[in-house]
Structure 1
Amino acid sequence: MNPGDPNQQQGGQWSPAPPGQSQTGGFPGHQGQTAQFPGGPPTGGWGPAPGMGPRRAGPRPDRSVIFALGAAVAGIVTYCMGFVSWITALAGSQQGIDLWERDFVEGRDSIPGFFSDDMVLNPGKFFVLLGVVGVATTFVLVPRYRKALPFLAVIALAGWLALFASALIMPPSVELGAGAILGLIFGLVQVALLMTASFLYGLKKDDAAIS
């Protein structure tokens, strides 16, 4: 042993690595790997890039509100039909009314329960009722008022049934005008949409209670 040999240190703590090995203790073919990954080689797969996490879908719109707003529009249109013609008198309408009255007096005809001047000649209150329900339906945009949907649906159904009865009991000498026909159509749409919105709201509340 030569004390001046630089390859020999005190205590034998360091010696040159054999040929073919790196001084980091690696094996041939892996030289420089530790230098390439200072913190050590990766142990897992490729992870998501920063800021590229899974996207969450936004909250779905409440379908009951969509149907309710459609019912509100239909109710306002129904109200406007009250300004259009309700009935149109046909030629010889007075003779037809006189004939119908004579048949009733002589017992050859009858009067239905819905037949009255207030029902036949003054259906405007039913148009007003459907219009008021249509405006009130817009309040469902506020979540706390959506529980009133079933009540609005029942009120609208009552108003439309009264309007429908007024249209059915017309004497044969008159016919329905454009306002009556369109009012019945849009009123029925209003009732159908309100009932659908009520069912959807009720089903959603049941699902939330179960979960």
Structure 2
Amino acid sequence: MTENPNYGETWTGAPGHQQVNQPPAPGTHPGQQFPTYGQPQQAPYGAPQYGPNPQGTYGVPAQPAGPSFFTQLPLPYKLAVGSGIAGVITYFMGFVAWISVGEEIERKAERWADEMNGDFGVPAFLTMVFTPGYFLLFLGAAGVASFAFLVPKWRKYLPQVAGLVVLSWLGLLACALALPSFISLGAGAIIALILGSVQLALIGAAVILDGRADDK
């Protein structure tokens, strides 16, 4: 083994061969060790080398994306938010026709009166058939309140909001069923009854699941 005083390189010559000293590569200094093929290269002073990451930022290691806020939300409150969306849409059905009046309403009313034989009692629900707007208003208010369950400190009021939905939808149903037979329901009433039932089912399931989670 011999050492070249000019370049600081060490080389072990095989027997019968003449030692050959080669100049250092451009950009290097005498005594620098060159990397071995198959081993990871290191930048000067041991700093790791980075390449382009999947996000397209050069020199910054890729970071995995965290879960979204809605994904971390418990299932009962996801159902409550879905109920809130249905409630808001139901509220706007108050601007659509609740009853449908056709040209034959007078003849239908006379026939209905004849079927009553001149003796007609007024049921309690019939007294509020023309006030379904209040119940649509309550369903819309419950829908807006359901979005408050995105905040943890308001989630304890889930049963109260569910009770308001139950009361409002039952009142809306009573308004629809108590109508005289010669008056037909309008598009707004039909859509409101369907969406109100969806709102009731979702928030009811939310209350049940939330109650079962508290028992565990």
Q: Normalization by structure 1: what TM-score?
A: 0.64
Distance 1:188 1:179 in 2: 14
Distance 2:194 2:94 in 1: 13
Partner of 1:100: 112
CA RMSD of aligned residues (A): 2.1
Instruction: Tell me, yes or no, if structure 1 residue 115 matches structure 2 residue 126.
Output: yes
Distance 1:103 1:149 in 2: 46
Distance 1:113 1:99 in 2: 23
Moved over 2 A (4+): 58-61, 94-107, 109-113
Q: Equivalent of 1:152, from 133, 140, 161?
A: 161
- How do 1:38-57 residues align onto structure 2 when only pairs under 5 Å count? none
Distance 2:168 2:157 in 1: 17
CA distance 1:110–1:197, change in 2 (3 Å): same
- For the 8 Å contact 1:150–1:198, the answer to whether it is kept is yes
Instruction: Tell me, yes or no, if structure 1 residue 66 matches structure 2 residue 78.
Output: yes
Partner of 1:179: 188
**1:92 CA drift (Å):** 2.1
- How do 1:19-30 residues align onto structure 2 when only pairs under 5 Å count? none
Q: Equivalent of 2:87, from 68, 75, 78?
A: 75
Letter of the 1:114 partner, please give it.
Answer: F
- Size of the aligned set, in residue pairs, is 148
The worse-fitting range, judged by mean Cα deviation, of 147-156 and 90-99 is: 90-99
- For the 8 Å contact 2:112–2:182, the answer to whether it is kept is no
- For the 8 Å contact 1:70–1:193, the answer to whether it is kept is yes
**1:60 CA drift (Å):** 5.3
Partner-residue secondary structure (3-state), 2:167: helix
Partner-residue secondary structure (3-state), 1:115: helix
**1:104 CA drift (Å):** 4.4
Partner-residue secondary structure (3-state), 2:103: coil
**1:73 CA drift (Å):** 0.1
Q: Normalization by structure 2: what TM-score?
A: 0.63
Q: Equivalent of 1:164, from 161, 167, 173?
A: 173
By relative contact order (CA 8 Å, sep 6+), the higher-ranking structure is: 1
Letter of the 2:135 partner, please give it.
Answer: F
**1:172 CA drift (Å):** 1.8
**1:188 CA drift (Å):** 0.6
